[in-house]
Amino acid sequence: MNTIRKYFLKKINLSLNSIDQIFLSLTDRSVIKLKNMCPRSSVQFEEIRQEKKQLIMDVALELFAENGFHATSISQIAKKAKISKGLIYNYFESKNDILEEITRWAFDNIYLQLDFNRDGILTKDEFIGFIKATIKSVDENRQFWKLYFALVFQPQILESYAQKYTDKGLEIVKMLHEFIVSQGSTTPEKDLVAISFLLKGATLIVLTSPHFFLTNDIVEDTIDACFRLISNNKNTCHHEM
């Protein structure tokens, strides 16, 4: 009798354990499912939105540079980005709007580094920081800048870009000119042009030399060269390390 009783108790315990395991398994799956169904936070939504927006801009820039701005359609951008046309219009009103966002980012990425405190006066530290930030941005975003320059040098785009950014460009030239004068230059216009050529040459080397490795020494040498240009007949101004 005891043997039979033990047998049935054992079977019952096994059954109960099995039920417990099944219940726990179902509970775990339910928790995972509920977790996945939980609404995303506003931060997560904003991250997703920015990722989609950046994807559209990256694909559009590539097509604008390769095919020309006017030859590229919203449909082509959507197809290459593997998203719907409707989704693009959730972020941009038109193809021109995408172009405007790309050019704004490029301009701000470089020239917002020029006057950190926005007081309209360029200090030595800000000038040095601007040179470093410019070269670093080009080095770290080579593909973007290659495509960007291919885009903005398209005749109609270049004309439009010049019209939109003339006022901002004049503000930048004014700050640079005043800084060069403050450093003792008696030929600020000449020095400004020379520094502009020097920086453009440095960025061009970075962009066109795939195996070029940018070092801190190269950046510092570029800064030193800029300060050697800002000079008069009596002395040469060097930046403080």
pLDDT value at residue 25: 44
Q: List phi, psi (to 5°) of 232.
A: -125, -170
Is the pLDDT reported for residue 14 higher than 50? no
41-92 sits in which CATH class? mainly alpha
Is the pLDDT reported for residue 11 higher than 90? no
How many C-beta atoms lie closer than 10 Å to residue 107's C-beta? 16
For the record, the structure tokens of 129 come out as 């920081």
Where are the chain's structural domains?
A: 1-38, 41-92, 97-229
Mean pLDDT of the region 84-99: 94
Cα 8–chain centre separation: 70
Q: What pTM does this model have?
A: 0.70
Residue type, 208: T
Burial class of residue 23, CB neighbours in 10 A (0-12, 13-18, 19+): exposed
pLDDT value at residue 42: 79
Cβ atoms of residues 238 and 226 within 8 Å: no
DSSP 8-state symbol, 187:
-
Chosen CATH of 97-229 out of 1.10.357, 1.20.120, 1.10.3470, 2.30.30: 1.10.357
* Model confidence pLDDT, tens digit, residues 40-81: 677 788 888 899 999 999 999 999 999 999 999 999 999 999
**By 3-state DSSP, what share of the chain in percent is helix, strand and coil, each rounded to 5?**
75, 0, 20
How confident is the prediction for the chain on average, in pLDDT? 81
Burial class of residue 146, CB neighbours in 10 A (0-12, 13-18, 19+): middle
CA gap 82, 173 in Å, rounded: 42
DSSP 8-state symbol, 36:
H
Is the pLDDT reported for residue 187 higher than 60? yes
Tokens 């398209």 sit on residue: 154
CA gap 101, 164 in Å, rounded: 13
